[in-house]
Amino acid sequence: MDQVENIAMALDSRCPICLDSWDNASYVLPCLHQFCFRCIQRWAESKPECPLCKGTISSIVHSLCKPLRSGLSLHFPAGRLQ
């Protein structure tokens, strides 16, 4: 594995806002970029656009349940943004 691949893998396992490991991973709609729930919630309150692609955030999808046995989890909208 080269250095670029190592960096890419490290970034995939960390929130792009706080650069820490995932804490209550959440997704923004419609782009589906992933962030820590608290990070993206604070971000969206001040600027309702995705920090990665700059698209308008319509919703934040946050897992409220533990993963199911099949490896899937249920996701519910945390609320609509204006």
For every residue of the chain, which 3-state class applies, written as one string?
Answer: CCHHHHHHHHHHCECCCCCCECCCEEEEECCCCEEEHHHHHHHHHHCCECCCCCCECCEEEEECCCCCCCCCCCEEEEEECC
pLDDT of 5 over the 50 cut: yes
pLDDT attached to residue 31 = 94
Structure confidence by residue, pLDDT tens digits, 22-81: 888 899 999 999 999 999 999 999 999 999 999 999 999 986 555 445 554 445 555 554
pLDDT of 20 over the 50 cut: yes
Q: For the whole model, what pTM was predicted? A: 0.64
pLDDT attached to residue 68 = 47
The CATH homologous superfamily for domain 3-80 is Zinc/RING finger domain, C3HC4 (zinc finger) (3.30.40.10)
